[in-house]
Amino acid sequence: MSRAEGGGAVSARRGLAPGDEERPRAFALLGSQLAVLFRRRRTWAMLGALALVPVLIAVAVRVTDAGTPGDGPAFLSSIADNGLFVAFTALSVSVPLFLPLTLSVVAGDTIAGEASLGTLRYLLIAPASRVRVLAVTYAGVVAFALAATLAVVLAGVGIGAVLFPIRDVTLLSGDTVDAGGFVLRTLLLVGYTSLSLLGLGAIGLFASTLTTVPVGAMAATVVLAAAGQIADALPQLAWLHPWLFSHYWLGFGDLLREPIAWGSYASDALLQLAYVAVFGALAYGRFTTKDVLS
Amino acid sequence: MSAVGTTGGEPAIRTDGLSKAFGSQRAVDGIDLVVPRGAVFGFLGPNGSGKTTTIRMLLGLVSATAGTIRVLGEPMPSRTRTVLPRVGALVEGPAFYPFLSGRANLTRLDAADRCSSGRTRAARVDAALERVGLTAAAGKRVHAYSLGMKQRLGIANALLRPRELLVLDEPTNGLDPQGTREVRALVRSLADEGATVFVSSHLLSEIEQVCSHAGVMSAGRLVAQGTLKELRRAGRPRVVVRTPDVAAARTVLAALGLELLEETREQAASALLADGTAPEDVTSALVAAGARVRGLAVEGSTLEERFVELTGEGFDVAR
Ligand SMILES: Nc1ncnc2c1ncn2[C@@H]1O[C@H](COP(=O)(O)OP(=O)(O)O)[C@@H](O)[C@H]1O
Ligand SMILES: [Mg+2]
């Protein structure tokens, strides 16, 4: 048996022991994860649908009368007067439904999607550690939350500038800021809304470690998103409200005061962080001990 | 062999009492596997006999219910980080992102390994694609690949880096005869380069020609393992009598205390040859009983027969 003596010759000859050649690349998988996410048609279809929301609103306002102030979504009546409000209106429309829905699709798909494709086992034997796979897929969820919010806001600012006059903005507090100041606030708004979605994203990530059927994890996450908002609307559950991940979702009006009221921003950040910590830990506990049989 | 270093003396794979239970079913039942370095080890067994489950445990995808595993001289799954970069594997068929090209898929899986070099990635991916004959289809989305092409891509993934051990689970599934031959040639060339190859199959014929060693699984247990020579020797020879008096011949064989075998050939009777019985004893007993003998032969068991003997015949999944 001449073969029996040759073990390891392949690596010996080319001198490639693991890690020898250069420093480990901690971020290569993250880059690849984002590439996979944003090379998917589904991702772009969802971002496109989100971008349609402000367009729809702006066109509807443009072709009809502005309606009576107080009717319809927040900020709607201000649009005809100032195009900068399109983005705000579109966000307040998207936050309860479209944003959580699309985010649930991405978050529910993380681990379960890889498992159902079978690529999970190949990532793990590449090898990528389970913690790393979890962290990187969650980073994809965060990136999507940001992209989704940006899609709504950028499309809103764009269509607003095209269809309506752009002028100084009168804030809820009565002060006036110029367009530049308003753009700054819009960016803060993007940050606020993406941040608000992180808790739900962590819930979706955990749901995704429980199954190999991505649709199941997606549906569970969407249902929770809806249930959270329903619970938040019931006065009988007032004691629960401060603990609901959706409690501060519509709190971004505070960014339209002068000076900016940071209260909701801080409470929201703390709450989302707590959700990420709890559900991140649950996902970790589940995923690192789970048999990968798909 | 500097790369092997201190671990060179240990087998590439060694398990002790390795078991996995799914509920009450023991999918893998106390197997003691020894795969020597440099061997081409055929891991044989019918569907459902526990091959893939064993491989998943070797690679740390599934935790063992009982038993220990050492791969390339290190305990698994505690050392996945240092062991798995040296192992290339195909587990339970290929799996890829259908919306990415073959090349993009390999690039992603290579990036998943923190130790793999980003600088040489593109070149290594192309070399692996070339080696399995997929260069022309590398830019196509995997969605458009045939099963055979996916299988090749899966093998390419196992070859992204120089490996000390290759674990190939049913690598010829879905391949045409030409593809099967290519896989065999590939396995041979990998072995010639010094890698240990652990290849599973439910079809002995597909890998018999390339294996130096084999292990046979049946219903979760490892019923035999060793070099092919040892396995063949372990099979018992049998005596085949060509005769028009089949019934009489069978009576004689049975009277000699031999274990009768099913015989599909016309006008023939056969039985396992027991240790104490010489072929000439059989001849004289047949003649004494008045059975007309046209011919008598002793046949060694082929590996195929050995395999059937160990695992049972037929298409039934074991459980
Ligand atoms: N996820 C699972 N849950 C329950 N039983 C399983 C699971 N995967 C495999 N098994 C059982 O384990 C046994 C061995 O399966 P497997 O290792 O896939 O066999 P092979 O690869 O030899 O065809 C089978 O009887 C199968 O039914
Ligand atoms: Mg199998």
- pLDDT for A174 equals 76
Query: B212 in helix, strand or coil?
Result: coil
Q: How far apart are CA B95 and CA B150, in angstroms?
A: 8
pLDDT, averaged across chain B: 88
All residues of chain A having their beta carbon less than 8 Å from the beta carbon of residue B192 are 3
In a domain, A70, yes or no: yes
Q: Express each pLDDT in B52-64 by its tens digit.
A: 999 999 999 999 9
Q: Which atom of ligand 1 is nearest to the CA of B217?
A: 22
B172-176, B190-194, B273-277: range with highest mean pLDDT:
B190-194
The mean pLDDT of A53-60, rounded to a whole number, is 92
What is the CATH number assigned to the segment(s) B236-300?
3.30.70.100
- pLDDT for A71 equals 65
- pLDDT confidence tier of residue B3, bands split at 50, 70 and 90: very low
In a domain, A8, yes or no: no
Closest residue by Cα to residue B216 from B306, B302, B301: B306
All residues of chain A having their beta carbon less than 8 Å from the beta carbon of residue B212 are 1, 3-4
- pLDDT for A216 equals 97
Chain A residue with minimal CA distance to B38? A4
Q: Express each pLDDT in A132-153 by its tens digit.
A: 999 999 999 999 999 999 999 9
- The CATH superfamily of B13-233 is P-loop containing nucleotide triphosphate hydrolases (3.40.50.300)
Query: B166 in helix, strand or coil?
Result: strand
All residues of chain A having their beta carbon less than 8 Å from the beta carbon of residue B3 are 8-9, 11-12, 15, 17
What is the extent of the structural domain holding A244? 19-288
Q: Which atom of ligand 1 is nearest to the CA of B319?
A: 25
The mean pLDDT of A70-77, rounded to a whole number, is 70
- pLDDT for B61 equals 96
The mean pLDDT of B186-195, rounded to a whole number, is 92
Q: Express each pLDDT in B97-120 by its tens digit.
A: 999 999 999 999 999 988 888 889
Q: How far apart are CA B245 and CA B267, in angstroms?
A: 7
Query: B141 pLDDT exceeds 60?
Result: yes
Task: Give the mutation target among B19, B47, B52 for probing the ligand 1 site: most ligand atoms within 8 A of CB.
Answer: B52
A116: left (phi over 0), alpha (psi -120 to 50) or beta: alpha
A22–B194 CB contact, under 8 Å: no
Q: How far apart are CA B50 and CA B32, in angstroms?
A: 13
pLDDT, averaged across chain A: 86
Residue with tokens 């047949």, as numbered in its chain: B286
Query: A175 pLDDT exceeds 90?
Result: no
Q: Which two tokens stand for residue A39?
A: 């090379």
- pLDDT for B6 equals 42
**pTM of the entire predicted model:** 0.85
Find the ligand nearest to B51 CA: 1
Query: B25 pLDDT exceeds 60?
Result: yes
- pLDDT for B82 equals 93
Query: How many CA atoms lie less than 13 Å away from B149 in the CB half-sphere?
Result: 18
Q: Looking at the 3D structure of chain A, how many domains does it have?
A: 1
- pLDDT confidence tier of residue B318, bands split at 50, 70 and 90: very low
What percent of chain A is modeled with pLDDT above 70? 88
Q: Where do you find CATH 3.30.70.100 in chain B?
A: 236-300
Chain A residue with minimal CA distance to B40? A3
Cα(B204) to ligand 2 centroid in Å equals: 14
Q: Express each pLDDT in A95-129 by its tens digit.
A: 999 999 999 999 999 999 999 999 999 999 999 99
Closest residue by Cα to residue A86 from A161, A198, A14, A24: A161
The mean pLDDT of B136-155, rounded to a whole number, is 94
Closest residue by Cα to residue B33 from B217, B182, B294: B217
- pLDDT confidence tier of residue A70, bands split at 50, 70 and 90: low
Test mutation, A121, A122, A132, chain B, max B CBs within 10 A: A122
- ipTM > 0.95 for the complex: no
- pLDDT confidence tier of residue A94, bands split at 50, 70 and 90: very high
A55-59, B66-70, B287-291: range with highest mean pLDDT:
B66-70
Q: Which atom of ligand 1 is nearest to the CA of B317?
A: 25
| CA-to-CA separations, B195 to A147, B189, B208, B312, in angstroms, rounded | 46, 9, 18, 32
Q: Where do you find CATH 3.40.50.300 in chain B?
A: 13-233
Query: How many CA atoms lie less than 13 Å away from A125 in the CB half-sphere?
Result: 31
**Continuous H helices in B193-291:** 204-207, 228-234, 246-255, 279-288
Q: Which two tokens stand for residue A33?
A: 């994860």
Q: Express each pLDDT in A201-254 by its tens digit.
A: 999 999 999 999 999 999 999 999 999 999 999 999 999 999 999 998 888 878
Q: Which two tokens stand for residue B90?
A: 């195909």
Q: Does A41 touch chain B (CB under 8 A)?
A: yes
Residue with tokens 């409200």, as numbered in its chain: A241
- pLDDT confidence tier of residue B1, bands split at 50, 70 and 90: very low
Q: Express each pLDDT in B207-238 by its tens digit.
A: 788 999 999 999 899 998 999 888 877 767 78
